[in-house]
């Protein structure tokens, strides 16, 4: 009995969908959903500031354009002339992150776990990009609000989030 009821509802839903498609204007039903374009570099405003905890840098990207566009969900953060970039936590692959017009996305970067780590490197610039295919912005110590060179060893970054609080919480969840 249960199977018959489910089939009846399914059959009704399918028939209803077919009627809606038949009633739609020509060509409307066959059109795929509009793809959100990749953000142009000129509409992105990137920011970075060192937190009170000097192991942490808060980064932002704002869409100053008039339309929603996408950035990569994994920020690219590089350190001076060191090879490589901060690793994402959680680990993952790149993909699109929708950024509405006038909206800002946030990420938290931990440059080093232990400030006393003897293997720490010291840099006087940090680069941030919202998309590896676009340039980005290079921040000096002064622009970061840092008084000393930034210590770096095994840096990690969160994915872009809708708020700074969410980015900070994500970092704490992933690396403590």
Q: Provide the pLDDT for residue 10.
A: 35
CB 131 within 8 A of CB 71: yes
Indicate the average pLDDT of the chain: 85
Tens of pLDDT, residue by residue over 79-124, are 999 999 999 999 999 999 999 999 999 999 999 999 999 999 999 9
Q: What number of CA atoms fall less than 13 Å from residue 66's CA on the CB side? A: 0
Tell me the pLDDT tens digit for each residue of 141-157.
Answer: 999 999 999 999 999 99
Do residues 88 and 161 lie in contact, with contact meaning Cβ atoms separated by under 8 Å?
A: no
Distance between CA atoms of residues 59 and 152, nearest Å: 16
> Token pair 């930034």 is at which residue?
150
- As a whole number of angstroms, the distance between CA 85 and CA 157 comes to 9
Task: Provide the 3-class DSSP secondary structure of residue 59.
Answer: strand
Which parts of 24-153 fold into alpha helices (H)? 141-144
Q: What is the 3-state secondary structure (H, E, C) of 4-41?
A: HHHHHHHHHHHHHHHHHHHHCCCCCCCCCCCCCCECCH
Q: How confident is the model at residue 25 (pLDDT cuts 50, 70, 90)?
A: very low
Give the global pTM.
0.80
């Amino acid at each position: 009995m249960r199977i018959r009821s489910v089939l009846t509802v399914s059959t009704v839903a399918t028939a209803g969908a077919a009627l809606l498609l038949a009633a739609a204007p020509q060509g409307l039903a066959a059109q795929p959903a509009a793809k959100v374009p990749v953000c142009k570099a000129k509409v992105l405003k990137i920011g970075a500031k060192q937190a009170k905890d000097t192991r942490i840098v808060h980064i932002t990207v704002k869409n100053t354009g008039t339309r929603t566009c996408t950035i990569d969900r994994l920020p690219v953060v590089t350190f001076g002339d060191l090879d490589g970039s901060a690793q994402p936590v959680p680990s993952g692959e790149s993909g699109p992150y929708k950024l509405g017009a006038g909206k800002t996305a946030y990420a938290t970067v931990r440059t080093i776990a232990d400030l006393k780590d003897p293997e720490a490197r010291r840099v006087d610039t940090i680069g941030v990009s919202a998309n590896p295919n676009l340039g980005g912005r290079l921040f000096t110590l002064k622009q970061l609000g840092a008084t000393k060179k930034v210590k770096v060893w095994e840096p990690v970054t969160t994915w872009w989030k809708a708020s700074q609080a969410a980015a900070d919480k994500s970092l704490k969840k992933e690396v403590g």
